[in-house]
Structure 1
Amino acid sequence: MEGLWAYMITLVEIFGEIQELSMRAAPSLPDNQCMHVDDQVAFLGEALSSWEANFPEHELGGPFVALHQGYYHYRMLLYYQYLDTKRATTEKTARFSKFCQHSALAHSNLLALPRDVGQCDVLYAGVGHSTVISSSVLLHTAMFGDSDEIMPAQQALQANFKMLQELSPYWPSLDLTIRRLSQFQLRCTEGDAIRAYDFDEWMVAFLLRYHLTLDEKRSRGVAKNDIALFPVC
């Protein structure tokens, strides 16, 4: 168990850098600064991959699930800005966008595993926030992904909803977390859905300031009524 603390500390240190980078990247940046951000994202992505590659394979149970839940959560935060279509698309940024989508799906699958096998449940409050972030990415995949990606994303959205339902009796504060997801869905359904992923100050607050309420900033445009959305109470 002591060895796992070292892995946790390393992971939290990487998260600190991801958080700082996300706050700097939110405003509109000239192309040369975007390229600099891309390089920093690549560096931090390699740090996360190295952390995962060196994690002891024999470690299982709740701590294993909790640490890897954090790993996928931080990968989503790192690559989330590449869901913003206003960014210039390159081979690298397209790959980063896929990394974000794959991490959201892996996060959902990981949290479903303890429930499916009946052990090592992860029932702490922070899982609620990371599940909301995962759901927002999965919603993007369900709306804009390739045909073979849509069904797995929709299934993962349903699994995430079950997770939030299971967490709610333990953590009444999750009502705020679920409302945050509801606000995000409103950005998608009451406007131009793709603009809901603009990486602006609202989005940074949505990703990082999970203890605060959010202003209901919504995009304008045609509603997306043909998408099976993540159910919100």
Structure 2
Amino acid sequence: MPLRLELVNLYFDYIHGQFHSMYHRPSFVDQVQQDRVPDIILFAIIALSSRFSDHDHFAGTDPRVRGERYREAGELLLNMRAIVPTTIQACVLLGAYAAASGDTGVENLYYSMAGRICLVLDLPNRPVETLVEREVNIRTWWTLCMVDVWSSTAVRLPRIMPVDSDVPLPMDEIAFSLMDTDIIRTDIGHPVTIEAPLLAEMIKLNRILARIIDFNCQCVSNHLEGAALEMRMCTLARELDEWLENLPPQLHDTPENFQYFASRGLGRIFVAVYLGYYHYGQLLNYQFLSCAPEATSSNPYTEACKFHAAQLCSLVYRSFSTPGSEVLYSAVSHILVIASTVQIHTLLFSGDDIQIRISKSRLERNFEILLRLRTYWPSVDGAMSRLRAFHQTCLRSKDKETSFVLDRWQLKFLVQFAPDMESEPRDNDPEYEALLALSKRSPLAIYTGMAL
């Protein structure tokens, strides 16, 4: 039992709230102590969390593989005929394990199964006995809506969760953590003071991410340019700006707010919210790094991409320098790789020695963090492989600018978590030359009325 409790608490420290959010920690830990948690849930949780343990039980075992036997035990207990919330949660946990192992196909199958069961049960409206149970159902629903966006994209399949929903957003994190499990259903409608709606803000950002991914896909498939490109860019950029503007003061990304949440055990979730914001900003603006080098210093989209990448790096560094707030979930490796390629752009094209020095420093620190993440997650191998593949395209290209063109290869690099990109040369894209020519047309021409 002591080891079991340690592993469950490691799960809540390093994974829950960042990868997904489906439990009320105090009541869940209490159920573990009472041996009331289904074995399939316990095995799946330990499969994820055991990599972080320093317990003698795992001495001599590679952290990256020590969860395998627990994953296997959990899968043996999975009953597809059990259309119940426990099956949904088990599928999410096993899907998260698959994602962290680089098995995107298996991950998507688990998430799809969880989503279908969620829809069949109408989980957010399922009869409950307590407010905690209702909130857990709401959080599980929104977890599936969020993972559906990037999981489906990774395997190029349609999303299964509804885009529009009248399901209420999750409640405040601090209030939820302090909630008494004895609150009965008749108390559900009572207002709760909102101080830290972190998961709710993460969900709002995820909705914007879905539209950014769709936009980037359309840019590649439909060759958007001119007014159509500019209109979509302005709309999505404004959505990100409005999200930031509408935040309450206590949720702004400031050192003081970060320390506030870190002191309450919510530092990692606070960081996860803003890693999403900065990553989505660099995804939206990334294609404009391919503008002619002499134009990048005045291109607002290029500068926006560099800004978001720089802020993302700074936030990760801040998290690692704050005990108890370092973000170690596997997706950090992917977004850090994308931010690293933005630093490579600066090294290739900037004539500013200070900028070059800062970018070199960021690349070094990012590599150190990637190596640390690699000790826990097999999927980091794929992320580092993609970075090597990107670097090789820069080395092979006579015109370094072409490395940043948003073609099918680049889109796969940005959003599909593909681990095998080194074996897929970029010039295999039959429309690469057409896309390259299109990328030469800067959106700034619309602002200035002249071709750059």
User: How does the TM-score come out when normalised to structure 2?
Assistant: 0.45
Which residue identity does 1:167 align to in structure 2? Answer: L
Give deviations 1:168-204, integer Å, cap 9, x for gaps.
Answer: 1110121111001000000111222211111111111
Q: What residue is the counterpart of 1:48 in the other structure? A: 240
Give deviations 1:108-153, integer Å, cap 9, x for gaps.
Answer: 1110001123331111111110001000111101211240321111
Structure 1 regions of 5+ residues with no counterpart? 220-233
Which residue identity does 2:365 align to in structure 1? Answer: A
Contact 2:292 2:401 in 1 (8 A): no
Give deviations 1:62-120, integer Å, cap 9, x for gaps.
Answer: 11111100110000000001012379x699x8110110011111111110001123331
1:201 and 2:399 are equivalent in the alignment = no
Distance in 2, matches of 1:180 and 1:90, equals 25
Which residue identity does 2:311 align to in structure 1? Answer: A
Structure 2 regions of 5+ residues with no counterpart? 1-172, 177-196, 252-260, 262-266, 429-452
Match of 1:74 among 266, 274, 280: 280
Match of 1:139 among 330, 334, 344: 344
Which residue identity does 2:219 align to in structure 1? Answer: A
Match of 2:397 among 191, 194, 202: 191
Q: What residue is the counterpart of 1:180 in the other structure? A: 386
Q: What residue is the counterpart of 2:199 in the other structure? A: 5
Q: Cα offset for 1:16?
A: 0.3
Match of 1:217 among 422, 426, 429: 426
Distance in 2, matches of 1:106 and 1:161, equals 17
3-state SS in 2 of match to 1:117 = coil
Q: 1:53 to 1:18 in 2, by over 3 A?
A: same
Contact 1:191 1:218 in 2 (8 A): no
Contact 2:271 2:327 in 1 (8 A): yes
Which residue identity does 1:114 align to in structure 2? Answer: S
3-state SS in 2 of match to 1:122 = coil
1:25 and 2:219 are equivalent in the alignment = yes
3-state SS in 1 of match to 2:321 = helix
Contact 2:316 2:327 in 1 (8 A): yes
Distance in 1, matches of 2:392 and 2:342, equals 15
Q: Cα offset for 1:207?
A: 0.4
3-state SS in 1 of match to 2:426 = coil
1:108 and 2:313 are equivalent in the alignment = yes
Which residue identity does 1:83 align to in structure 2? Answer: L
Which residue identity does 2:241 align to in structure 1? Answer: S
Distance in 1, matches of 2:376 and 2:364, equals 20
Distance in 1, matches of 2:393 and 2:427, equals 5
Distance in 1, matches of 2:391 and 2:234, equals 29
Q: 1:65 to 1:28 in 2, by over 3 A?
A: same
Q: 1:152 to 1:28 in 2, by over 3 A?
A: farther
Higher-RCO chain (CA-CA 8 Å, sequence separation at least 6):
1
Q: Let me know the Cα RMSD of the aligned residues.
A: 2.3
Contact 2:296 2:302 in 1 (8 A): no
Q: What residue is the counterpart of 1:225 in the other structure? A: none
Percent identity (aligned): 28
1:38 and 2:230 are equivalent in the alignment = yes
Q: Cα offset for 1:212?
A: 4.6
